[in-house]
Amino acid sequence: MFSTLASFVRLTRAALTLARHDAILPAEYQSLYPAPARWLGSVMRIFRRRDLAENPGERLARALEKLGPSYVKFGQILATRSDVVGERFARGLSRLQDRMPAFGDSEAREILADELGQPVDQVFSEFGPPVAAASIAQVHKAVTPDGAVVAVKILRPDIEDRIARDIRTLSLGAALAERLSPASRRLEPRKFVETVSRSLTLETDLRLEAAAASELAEAAMVAEGYHIPTVDWARSTRRVLTTQWIDGIALSDIDAIAASGIDRAALATRLTRAFLSTALDRGVFHADMHGGNLFARTDDTVWAVDFGIMGRIGRSERRFLALILHGFLTRDYMAAARAHFAAGYVPARHSVEDFASALRAVGEPIFGKTADQVPMSRVLMQLFEITALFEMRLRPELVMLQKTMVQCEGVSRQLDPQHDMWGAAAPIVEAWMKRELGPEGRIRDLGEDLTRLHDALRKLPDAVDDWAEVGAQLKAGKLSLGGGPRLRPWFLRLAWLSAAAAAGAAITLAFG
C-alpha cells in the first residue's frame, strides 16, 4: 500500500515536472491542438517556470533528466525521429544521447578501486576525465600499463535504486492507463513497461553488458563494415566495463560527419543492413541504436558501443518478420497479410483480404520513395489507425525490435534525408529468405524437429511410469476425476493403447 502511494506521488511529480517545463503540450504547437487540448495546455502553463529554454525539445530533455534514467531512454528514441517530432524538437532532445551531467572524478575513482580491488593508478597508467555521460553510466578514456587505449564505463552511484523507483512509477502509470482508457489495452502498456523494465534492470550489471558485447561481436561478423569493441575482461566487473577505445565520429554529430567527407548515404545503408543482418541471421541485435552509441570511421566502418540493452528474436518470429518485409518489398500485400495472421498478430476473426487491402493503403504511397519524400508522422498515424481497426495488440517479444527499427531508421534519415530503407533492406531480406525457405532452411527445420522428437522420446519412460501409477490408483479406487464417477477399466485400457500408439508412431518416425 505504501509503495503504491509513493509511486502515485512520483507519477504526480512527473506530470508536474513536465508541466513546469511546458513539455506536455508545448505552446509552440498550440494552433495544431484540438480545442480541449488547447484549453488543457493553457491550464498547464500556469505552473510553468520562467527560465525555460526556447527549444521545446530541450525543455522536454531537461524535464526527463530530472525524472530519471528510464524517462531519458524514451527521450533518446524521440531524438532520432526528427521526421516525426520535427528537426528543431529533435535537436533539443539530442542532449540526452551523451551530454548529460557527469558525476565527480573522485567518485569514479572510488568506484573503480572498490570494484577492481586496486588503486586506479595500479590498474591504469593514465585515467582521464569523463568523455561522455549518459543516464546510467559515464565513460572515461584510459591507458593500461601495457599501453592499450581503453574506454572505461562506470555506473552512476545509486543508479539501481533510481531505476527501481522509475519502474514502480511507470508500472503504476501503465496500470492506470489500462483502467482509465480501455483503448490503450490493445497496446499492452503493462507488458511494454515490463519488457523495458527488464532491459533496464539488466543494464545495471555491466558483466552482462560485457557478455552482450562479446555475443554481438560474433553476430556482427555477418554484417559488412560493422564492428564491436573488444572487451577487457580482466578490468570489467558488475559496475565497471572496460573495452577497446574507438576513435570515430559519433553519428549524432552530423556536422562533423559532413566535414569528414564520409559517404553519408553509404553509411546510412550500412547501418540499416547491419541491424537487419544481425537480427535476421543471428537473432540478436543492438537495441539502443541512437546516434550517440554509433561511431563512423574514415575507413567507412560503423562501430557500436553501449550494449546494456540487447534485443533477441526467436527463429519463428524472425521468419514471420522476413515474410512480412518481403511482402512489402515485393508489393505482395496478401503474402504480408497472411504472415501477420499466421503469426497471430491479427485476430483470426478478421478478413485476410481486408487486412491485405489495408497494408496496400500503407505501402503503395511510400513504395520507391526516399526518406525526404515520405511524411513519416503521417505514415505512423495511418499504421496506428490500421492496428486499431484490426485489433492488433502490441507483442512484448517484438517491443525491442520495433523500438530499435524506429531508432535505426531515424539515425539513417539524419545521415541521409533521401535514405531508402526498403532498398537498403531488400538484399538482406531476400538472402535470408533464400537460406531460410530453401534447402538449407529445410534441413535445419528437420534437424530441430528430430531434436524435439529425441527429447520427447527420452521423456517417454517417465510418462509411462506416471500412467502406470495413475492406472494403479484408479484400479484400486483411490483416484477419481473432479469427484465424479471413477474411471472404468475400459478407459484405462484406451489410455494405455493411446500412449502405446503415440510411442510407436514416434519410434517409426525417428528410425523408420
* Active-site amino acid positions: 288
Strands 284-286 and 310-312: what pairing? antiparallel
CB atoms within 10 A of CB 99: 14
C-alpha–C-alpha distance, residues 376 and 396, integer Å: 23
3-state secondary structure string, 395-455?
A: CHHHHHHHHHHHHHHHHHHHHCCCCCHHHHHHHHHHHHHHHHHCHHHHHHHHHHHHHHHHH
Report d(CA 325, CA 336) in Å as an integer. Answer: 7
- Count CB neighbours of 90 within 10 A: 20
In whole angstroms, give the CA distance from residue 326 to residue 348: 22
Amino acid identity at 298: T
Which of these, 388, 415, 509, lies nearest to 456 by C-alpha position? 509
Instruction: Please state, in angstroms and rounded to a whole number, the distance separating the CA atoms of residues 175 and 194.
Output: 11
Helix (H/G/I), strand (E/B), else coil: 240? strand
Residues 6+ away with beta carbon under 8 Å from 51: none
Q: What is the phi/psi pair of residue 126, to 5°? A: -140, 140
Q: Is 350 buried (19+), middle (13-18) or exposed (0-12) by CB count in 10 A?
A: middle
Kind and range of the H or E run holding 128? strand 126-133
3-state secondary structure of 117: coil
What DSSP character marks residue 231? B
Q: Is 459 exposed, middle or buried (0-12, 13-18, 19+ CB in 10 A)?
A: exposed
Please state the separation of Cα 203 from the chain's center in Å: 13
Q: Which amino acid belongs to residue 479?
A: L
Q: Which residues of 259-289 are buried (b: 16+ CB within 10 A; e: fewer)?
A: eeebebbebbbbbbbbbbbbbbbbebbbbbb
